[in-house]
Amino acid sequence: MRILGIDPGYGITGFGLIEADRGNCQLIRCGAITTPAGMDFSARLEIIYEDMRQLLELSKPDTVAMEELFFGQNVTTGIGVAQSRGVMLLAIRQAGLEVTSYKPMQVKQAVVGYGNATKHQVQDMTKRLLHLKEMPKPDDAADAIAIALCHARASTSLLANANCRMQNAK
């Protein structure tokens, strides 16, 4: 299964595409969609939308995993990220793909095994799981890869649970 992980933002949106097969994962590509600071915000949203459409067309994922919006101290930034996330969700739905959202704590739990793991711990474990020599840059791309890994583990878990239920029903 090809999973596209997305770490949404409006200045930098990280993405990571992995191939997951029975617990084995391989990084296919990663990077970031960027928009220039100071540009009209609606123009930035248009760039994000068009770049997301192009990314989906080129990478041909089976599914998409995206980090849920987390409102910290800066609500103004959160509103901008929410708008950015909205245009990405539109592009994904128009491509006929499903989106699964994960909270930051779920990603940390799935990748590191500890929901309060540090960013460094998540990146280190991501590097180990994918047998990478170094962690991809920018950090937003590394975060997106962790989101994709989270989905790979969650979907395997869900499939295993569904198979157990089907066997128990017989």
Q: For position 87, which CATH number holds?
A: 3.30.420.10
Residue 50 has a pLDDT of 98
Residue 49 has a pLDDT of 98
Token code pair at residue 136: 């991809």
CA distance 52 to 88: 6
CA distance 61 to 97: 8
pTM: 0.88
Domain count, the chain: 1
Residue 35 has a pLDDT of 97
Q: List, for the chain, all residue ranges whose pLDDT scores fall below the cut of 50.
A: 159-170
Cβ neighbours of 91 (radius 10 Å): 21
Range of the domain at 39: 2-169
Active-site residues: which are they?
A: 7, 67, 140
138 upstream amide cis, omega within 30 of 0: yes
H helices of the chain, in order, are 41-59, 75-94, 104-112, 119-129, 139-169
Residue 78 has a pLDDT of 82
- Cα 133 to Cα 32, 124, 126: the distances in Å are 20, 11, 11
Query: Which residues does 9 contact at the CB level (< 8 Å), separation at least 6?
Result: 81, 84, 140
